[in-house]
Amino acid sequence: MRVIVPLQSFVLGHGVHHQIKGQLSPSSSSSSSIRSSIVRTALVSSSSPAVVSSRATSMYSREHESPGHVGFSKCLDDPYDRTTNPNGVVQLGIAENLLAMDLVKEWISENVKASLIDSEVSRLVPYHPYDGILELKTALAAFMGQVMLESISLDPSQMIITAGATSAIETLSFCLADPGDAVLIPSPYYRGYDRNLKWRAGVETIPVPCRSIDNFRLSISSLELAYNQAKKQGVKVRAVFLLNPSNPIGNLIDRETMHELLDFVTEKNIHLVSDEVFAGSNHGTDEFVSIADVAHTEGFDKTRVHIIFGLSKVLSLPGFRIGVICSFNKNVLETGKKFARFFSVSVPTQRLLVSMLSDVNFVQKYIEIKKKRIRRMYELFVEGLGQFGINCFPSSAGYYCWVDMSNLMRSNSEKGELELWDKLLNISKINVTPGSECRCVDPGWFRICFTTITEDDIPIVMERIKRITNKQ
């Protein structure tokens, strides 16, 4: 696109200006072509880049040099492949489950024709409700009850379909808080929250530290302290965001703590958002309990409770971009539906998922097989790290280990942690997430995802870790 710049905005020498002035007089028949030539010359000679918004500049500068961005870029530039690129960078920084991909591939290859190609075109191509078709909401409500909630029945009318859980998080931030307001998040937490809440909605995140000495258990007294400190600083806290199962730790929130959380948000007259995208990724013996289960059975005010769910983790379908908001608040639902015009999901994708989620036998088989495969990989990975004296926090869910690598650090500090992360990336050539990226206050913890590789890759990863240890 050509940008037309007013001639008077150019700074020209006196002689040139005099010559141009004469050539561009109304009596000159070639004034138009000369004007175009001058504009082109000035544009080419200009060395200043076009100005972007301060928002874009700030986002780029904050994110570009972060360990998460650097590690991801390294993996893109030099991806590990056991056959074609055995010396590439192994991606252990993304919570993506490839262990049951064969089951998903098999179902899609056998059912995509009946689900889409044989469907009536009139069901696929027209405009549709931005917040999702009713058939998918109904299928999701039944699916969520099958894999995570069990004791309650969700109402499809209380659901909004979003383009991934990221859109669900951002939508709730717009609905619950104003720019400059804040939410409390027990840390360590998934680093994407800082982006999802801040970048466009302008909502601040206040980490509430959970420490290793307390087994990373959430303390209501810590929430109280963080809330009061924010209040003294004139910051309005609008909600508590909870990750259950935890990302990056992999632990579960028990019923007693949920009762205390609901009491806390009720007392403060704020909201509680429970991010439950890793529900259905359980591989241990601990029980997963949804916040909806507690809110329904204990007589709490459900209008302040909101749930985030999605299919990226539980069915290993991140490319389908399916997230869900479940809310018991009419105002949030009506506002969220209006926001949905910016992140709606294509109808063919929704139609395919209606068929998949309605296949109860497939869903049950998938979850059972996936659980066994995840648990085996978890145990093999923990055993492999143990040979270097590296301990993992006992986890019951998720696609990652929360790993204490402080014994490999030169100094017990964030600087020492990042130095170790750099060695892992550039010497061992494995990409992991340092705890400081997750707002962990105890240096030396790392999130290492083990579902992006196979069992055959585990010895290779361990051999690479050996490069930076003193083990021979």
Has residue 205 been placed in a domain? yes
Q: What distance in Å separates the CA atoms of residue 427 and residue 171, rounded to the nearest whole number?
A: 40
Within this chain, do residues 290 and 392 fall inside the same structural domain, yes or no?
no
Structural domain ending residue among the three candidates 314, 337, 359: 359
Has residue 135 been placed in a domain? yes
pLDDT reported for residue 47: 66
By DSSP bridging, strand 159-162 and strand 391-392 are: unpaired
Sign of the Cα torsion 387, 392, 395, 401 reads negative
Within this chain, do residues 428 and 462 fall inside the same structural domain, yes or no?
yes
DSSP annotation string for 171-220: HHHHHH--TT-EEEEEES--THHHHHHHTTT--EEEEEE--GGGTT---H
Q: What distance in Å separates the CA atoms of residue 344 and residue 170, rounded to the nearest whole number?
A: 14
Q: What is the extent of the structural domain holding 165?
A: 123-359
Within this chain, do residues 367 and 346 fall inside the same structural domain, yes or no?
no
DSSP annotation string for 441-459: SSTTEEEEE-TTS-GGGHH
Has residue 376 been placed in a domain? yes
pLDDT reported for residue 440: 96
pLDDT reported for residue 1: 46
Within this chain, do residues 127 and 267 fall inside the same structural domain, yes or no?
yes
Longest dimension (CA), the chain: 90
DSSP annotation string for 97-164: --TTHHHHHHHHHHHHIIIIITS-GGGTSS---TT--HHHHHHHHHHHIIIII-SS---GGGEEEESS
Within this chain, do residues 240 and 326 fall inside the same structural domain, yes or no?
yes
Within this chain, do residues 133 and 80 fall inside the same structural domain, yes or no?
no
Three-state SS sequence of 350-403 = HHHHHHHHHCHHHHHHHHHHHHHHHHHHHHHHHHHHHCCCCEECCCCCCCEEEE
Q: What are φ and ψ of residue 386, in 5° steps?
A: -60, -25
Domain containing residue 338: CATH number: 3.40.640.10
Has residue 22 been placed in a domain? no
Within this chain, do residues 355 and 373 fall inside the same structural domain, yes or no?
no
Has residue 263 been placed in a domain? yes
Has residue 378 been placed in a domain? yes
Q: What total of structural domains would you count in the chain?
A: 2
Within this chain, do residues 345 and 368 fall inside the same structural domain, yes or no?
no
Structural domain ending residue among the three candidates 317, 340, 359: 359
Q: What distance in Å separates the CA atoms of residue 98 and residue 50, rounded to the nearest whole number?
A: 42
Has residue 55 been placed in a domain? no
Has residue 422 been placed in a domain? yes
Within this chain, do residues 335 and 424 fall inside the same structural domain, yes or no?
no
Q: Would residue 123 be called left, alpha or beta, if left means φ above 0 and alpha means ψ between -120 and 50 degrees?
A: alpha
Within this chain, do residues 355 and 379 fall inside the same structural domain, yes or no?
no
Q: What number of other Cβ atoms are within 10 A of residue 41's Cβ?
A: 11
Residue pLDDT tens, the chain, 472 long: 444 444 444 344 444 444 444 444 444 455 566 555 555 555 555 567 788 888 777 777 666 678 888 989 999 999 999 999 999 999 999 999 999 899 999 998 888 877 776 566 666 777 788 999 999 999 999 988 877 756 667 899 999 999 999 999 999 999 999 999 999 999 999 989 999 999 999 999 999 999 999 999 999 999 999 999 999 999 999 999 999 999 999 999 999 999 999 999 999 999 999 999 999 888 988 888 899 888 887 678 899 999 999 999 988 888 889 999 999 999 999 999 999 999 999 988 999 999 999 998 999 899 899 999 999 999 999 999 999 999 999 999 999 999 999 999 999 999 999 999 999 999 999 999 999 999 999 999 999 999 999 999 999 999 999 999 864 3
Q: Would residue 202 be called left, alpha or beta, if left means φ above 0 and alpha means ψ between -120 and 50 degrees?
A: left
Q: What distance in Å separates the CA atoms of residue 193 and residue 241, rounded to the nearest whole number?
A: 9
Whole-prediction pTM value? 0.85
Within this chain, do residues 176 and 252 fall inside the same structural domain, yes or no?
yes
> How far, in whole angstroms, is CA 453 from its chain's centroid?
20
Domain containing residue 411: CATH number: 3.90.1150.10
pLDDT reported for residue 115: 72
pLDDT reported for residue 150: 60
Structural domain ending residue among the three candidates 359, 386, 409: 359
Within this chain, do residues 154 and 294 fall inside the same structural domain, yes or no?
yes
Closest residue by Cα to residue 437 from 461, 420, 414, 405: 414
CB 111 within 8 A of CB 356: yes
Kind and range of the H or E element at 23? helix 14-23
Sequence-separated (6 or more) residues with CB below 8 Å from residue 93: 68, 71, 72, 75, 431, 432, 433, 447, 449
**Structure tokens given for 430:** 């494995």
Q: What distance in Å separates the CA atoms of residue 239 and residue 184, rounded to the nearest whole number?
A: 6
Q: What number of other Cβ atoms are within 10 A of residue 204's Cβ?
A: 19
